[in-house]
Amino acid sequence: MTDKFISIEGIAKRYPGAGGATTTIFENLWLSMARGEFACVIGHSGCGKTTVLNILAGLDAPSEGAVIVDGQAISGTSLDRAVIFQSHALLPWRTVLGNVGYAVSSKWRSWDRAKVRAHAQTFIDLVGLTGSEHKRPSELSGGMKQRVGIARALSITPKMMLMDEPFSALDALTRGTLQDEVRRICLETGQTAFMITHDVDEAIYLADKIFLMTNGPGAVLAEVVENPLPRDRGRTDLHRHPLYYALRNHIVDFLVTRSKTFAAETPGHDPRHVPVVQIGKPGLTIAAASDEPRQTWMPGSNPGLSA
């Protein structure tokens, strides 16, 4: 891949454990994303997904390694990287408009009240909350709260969005609608997005690239699965696509069995060159253009090539 908009280079996270020992959550993790790409990370709890996201956001610092975004190593948080929190994290003493406005006025400090308000309103309208501007978070349903969280993240027009299981606390119907919204907004605005999820179908619907992580501690990025489904896929007919089940089975198999045994079965795994798995026949593969030969047909039985 030539365009590395985001490049995570050999990061590690260790915590001091009991009796002077250190617990390694993960180490030597390499990962890259192109501009405008939507990536999902899937893995079991405790594999360090959230830590990776917090490091990307700048909320947490890696014990080793660096993260490069848009050609610059990051240090700390930035208005370029907006975070959508799992628990929505709205300020309960502010209204919807107040919460979005807080983000807007943090980015553009010199704007007057009217300008902040107008800008915030645009994004409230975008997530379909017109008419609820003056409600407080306690008066909103879970789905509406998360919409405010999305509006707040988008309102600062970030270079990328980081989402930590944003829909996991919502009911299935609301989750579906919000997935549609996020997908629409990301496609329309060409937003680069990095999302953590537990939900295989959510990853298949939203992501261009799915990162599979093995179980922690000592988790590694095992594979990068490229989504073979067409870009104009819809949530309702997703499962009718001929490659849907192959893709889904591959991910589920990984989560159920291979995530535990990966390290033992793949001794030669090179964390710098994680195999890219493309599901589907070469002719059918809808993958990012690359001049390198790729591993094709069905689950990654041997390491593919990627840079």
The reply to whether 156 sits near other proteins by the rule CB under 8 A is yes
Q: Compare residues 56 and 243 and give the one whose CB is closer to other proteins.
A: 56
* Separation of alpha carbons 83 and 60, rounded Å: 13
The reply to whether 106 sits near other proteins by the rule CB under 8 A is yes
Contact 273, 303 (CB under 8 A): yes
User: Given the rule CB under 8 A, which of 72-80, 117-125, 228-236, 241-249 is the region that contacts other proteins?
Assistant: 72-80
Q: Using only the alpha carbons of the chain, give its radius of gyration.
A: 20
* Separation of alpha carbons 19 and 153, rounded Å: 41
Which residue matches tokens 């002077």?
A: 20
Backbone angles phi, psi at 27, to 5 degrees: -145, 160
Contact 280, 271 (CB under 8 A): no
* Separation of alpha carbons 141 and 247, rounded Å: 33
* Separation of alpha carbons 224 and 254, rounded Å: 12
Q: What's the length of the chain?
A: 307
Least Å from the CB of residue 138 to other proteins: 4
Least Å from the CB of residue 79 to other proteins: 5
User: Given the rule CB under 8 A, which of 17-25, 32-40, 78-86, 192-200 is the region that contacts other proteins?
Assistant: 78-86
User: Given the rule CB under 8 A, which of 37-45, 53-61, 208-216, 258-266 is the region that contacts other proteins?
Assistant: 53-61
The reply to whether 163 sits near other proteins by the rule CB under 8 A is no
Q: Compare residues 30 and 85 and give the one whose CB is closer to other proteins.
A: 85
The reply to whether 77 sits near other proteins by the rule CB under 8 A is yes
Q: Tell me which residue of 277, 265, 153, 279 sits closest to 211, measured CA to CA.
A: 277
Least Å from the CB of residue 88 to other proteins: 9
Q: Compare residues 91 and 284 and give the one whose CB is closer to other proteins.
A: 91
The reply to whether 107 sits near other proteins by the rule CB under 8 A is yes
The reply to whether 58 sits near other proteins by the rule CB under 8 A is yes
Q: Compare residues 116 and 203 and give the one whose CB is closer to other proteins.
A: 116
The reply to whether 138 sits near other proteins by the rule CB under 8 A is yes
Residue ranges of E strands in 257-299: 276-278
Q: Which of 29, 53, 69, 82 binds other proteins (CB under 8 A)?
A: 82
State the number of binding residues for other proteins (CB under 8 A).
23
The amino acid at residue 286 is: I
Helix and strand counts by DSSP (H, E) for the chain:
8, 11
* Separation of alpha carbons 198 and 154, rounded Å: 23
Q: Compare residues 30 and 102 and give the one whose CB is closer to other proteins.
A: 102
Helices (H), ranges, the chain = 49-57, 96-107, 113-126, 142-155, 172-189, 200-206, 244-253, 259-265
User: Given the rule CB under 8 A, which of 16-24, 34-42, 85-93, 275-283 is the region that contacts other proteins?
Assistant: 85-93
Give the list of residues 6+ apart from residue 47 with CB closer than 8 angstroms, or none: 25, 26, 213, 214, 215, 216, 219, 259
Q: Compare residues 53 and 274 and give the one whose CB is closer to other proteins.
A: 53
The reply to whether 102 sits near other proteins by the rule CB under 8 A is yes
Enumerate binding residues for other proteins (CB under 8 A).
57-59, 77-79, 81-83, 85, 87, 89, 91-93, 102-103, 106-107, 136-138, 156
